[in-house]
Amino acid sequence: MSRYVAGDLTDAELILDRCNDLAGISSHPDYLERVHLSPQHREANDLVARWMTEAGLTTWQDAAGNQCGRLEGREPGLPALLLGSHIDTVPDAGRYDGMLGVLLAIQVVERIRLSGVELPFALEVVAFSDEEGTRFGNALLGSRALSGTWDDDWWKLTDKDGITLAEAFQDFGLDPARVHGAFRRPGSLIGYLETHIEQGPILEDADRRLAVVTSIAGARRFAVTITGKAGHAGGTPFDRRKDALVGASELVIEVERLSKQYGVIGTVGRLQAFPGGINVIPGRVEFSLDLRGEFDDDRDECLRLFTKAAEEMCARRGLGFDATEIYRADAVMCDPALKDAIAAGIAATGDTEPLAFWSRAGHDGMAVVNIAPIAMLFLRCRGGISHHPDEAVKKADVAAALDAFEAAVLSVATSR
Ligand code: HGY
Ligand code: MN
Ligand code: MN
């Protein structure tokens, strides 16, 4: 079923070289950042489209800026098995988060095309345009358009320069009024498979290459504001201060404490004190809250307790508290039959009892699940490091993931 020959690393080398090519497309000269609807997004889409064409796919960019490609099955017009991942990044990103899954999917489609196998479905590859939500705070914008869960309220979202999502769409050459054209009606896709680095240490700690993903954590993101009163850092006695930063600091510690107590994962990734003078008591603090968990109930209970703690702290310190939700994607289960195909794929590389665990990271499958069953293949990344330039993978693991993913696709075909 698989052409896997230990040491057959040529395809893996090509994928890693292409990850390096994409890593060179950044809005910053000294670190990798490529955000939704940016000139760098355009350049990356064009490069991925070229690779898709070379692999024998017909290509198009959909109405939401996702770069797509298609290889027909044994007859034209069949529903498709969708493969892919995302090509946008976080700030100062690694070069494999998302990109590896897109390039590996292209390589699998080319392998199957060259093998002459005629599948009972078409194969499509998608490079989703905005899984991270780096530019506008809300995430999964490309996959939510594709899966018909777009909300027109998002058009007024703004980036750090005050550009709205609608303006960014138009600047990119897209028509906001046509975004719903990206919607893939149910029935046009038989499923979605994504390969992604684990972005955690479980595989490396277990000395395994690959794993089956059982579910994807549900996440909620908030913009939190603590308001106090700016004042003189010298003349203001402590019993008369309304120090927004000291109050916010209590809450940052509380996020970690509640997370550990409830087995969820809370992170404050961004915090800014205003007015920001070295000799001025901060009158306002804005910080982000990312709260996620395997089970939505645990996450939401943690959120309730965080809010309660915030209100109690603010009453005690004479501060104000506001939390605005900017993103929500609830936990999703992977499809049992597609999980079996992923496990069969991993077995084709010799691992007949693969690890299976939930993804602590979010993925586009959280949106695609609205129109098709989903499954994911994880591969090991060094030290579990991700969302950092030290993100790294082994060539042999990429070779194994490529073979497992190819075998998983073929397994879907034989089970239909
Ligand atoms: O935040 C996440 O888990 C994903 O990397 N966007
Ligand atoms: Mn990521
Ligand atoms: Mn990712």
Per-residue pLDDT at 8: 64
Out of 326, 387, 388, 391, mutate this one to test ligand 1's pocket (max ligand atoms within 8 Å of CB): namely 387
Q: Residue with structure tokens 């292409």?
A: 18
What the chain holds in terms of domains, given with CATH numbers, is: 10-217+331-414 (3.40.630.10), 219-329 (3.30.70.360)
Contacts for 63 with CB less than 8 Å, ≥ 6 apart: 145, 174, 175, 178, 179, 180, 181, 182
Provide the token pair at 377. Answer: 């293949």
Q: Please identify, by atom number, the ligand 1 atom nearest to the C-alpha of residue 139.
A: 6
Assess whether the C-beta atom of 131 lies below 6 angstroms from ligand 1.
yes
Query: Secondary structure of the chain in the HEC alphabet?
Result: CCCCCCCCCHHHHHHHHHHHHHHCCCCECCECCCCCCCHHHHHHHHHHHHHHHHCCCEEEECCCCCEEEEECCCCCCCCEEEEEEECCCCCCCCCCCCHHHHHHHHHHHHHHHHHCCCCCCEEEEEEECCCCCCCCCCCCHHHHHHCCCCCHHHHHCECCCCCEHHHHHHHCCCCHHHHHHHCCCCCCEEEEEEEEECCCCHHHHCCCCEEEEEEECEEEEEEEEEECECEECCCCCHHHCECHHHHHHHHHHHHHHHHHHHCCEEECCCEEEECCCCCEECCEEEEEEEEEECCHHHHHHHHHHHHHHHHHHHHHHCCEEEEEEEEEECCEECCHHHHHHHHHHHHCCCCCCCEEEEECCCCCHHHHCCCCCEEEEEECCHHHCCCCCCCCCCHHHHHHHHHHHHHHHHHHHHCC
Ligand 1 centre and the CA of 77: distance in Å? Answer: 34
Per-residue pLDDT at 4: 47
Ligand 1 centre and the CA of 221: distance in Å? Answer: 11
Contacts for 130 with CB less than 8 Å, ≥ 6 apart: 35, 36, 37, 65, 86, 88, 136, 139, 140, 141, 142
Assess whether the C-beta atom of 361 lies below 6 angstroms from ligand 1.
yes
Per-residue pLDDT at 255: 98
Task: Give the CA count within 13 Å in the CB-facing half-sphere of 390.
Answer: 4
Nearest to 224 by CA among 199, 187, 192, 249: 249
Phi, psi angle pair for 276, to nearest 5°:
90, 15
Ligand 3 centre and the CA of 282: distance in Å? Answer: 35
Ligand 1 centre and the CA of 31: distance in Å? Answer: 19
Q: Name the amino acid, one letter, at 162.
A: G
* CB-based contact 165:172 (threshold 8 Å): no
Per-residue pLDDT at 3: 44
Closest ligand, as measured to the CA of 360: 1
Q: Residue with structure tokens 């007859």?
A: 75
pLDDT along the chain (416 residues), means of 10: 56 97 97 98 98 98 98 98 98 98 98 96 98 96 97 97 98 98 94 98 97 98 98 98 98 98 96 98 98 97 98 98 96 98 97 97 97 98 98 97 97 94
Ligand 2 centre and the CA of 387: distance in Å? Answer: 6
Residues with CB under 5 A from ligand 2 (ion): 97
Burial 134-159 (b: 16+ CB within 10 A, else e): bbbbbbbbbbbbbbebbeeebeebeb
* CB-based contact 85:101 (threshold 8 Å): yes
Q: Name the amino acid, one letter, at 53.
A: T
Q: Please identify, by atom number, the ligand 1 atom nearest to the C-alpha of residue 132.
A: 6
First to last CA, the chain: 16
Nearest-CA residue for atom 6 of ligand 1: 132
Please tell me the distance from the alpha carbon of residue 178 to that of residue 163, in angstroms, as a whole number: 19
Out of 85, 129, 132, mutate this one to test ligand 1's pocket (max ligand atoms within 8 Å of CB): namely 132
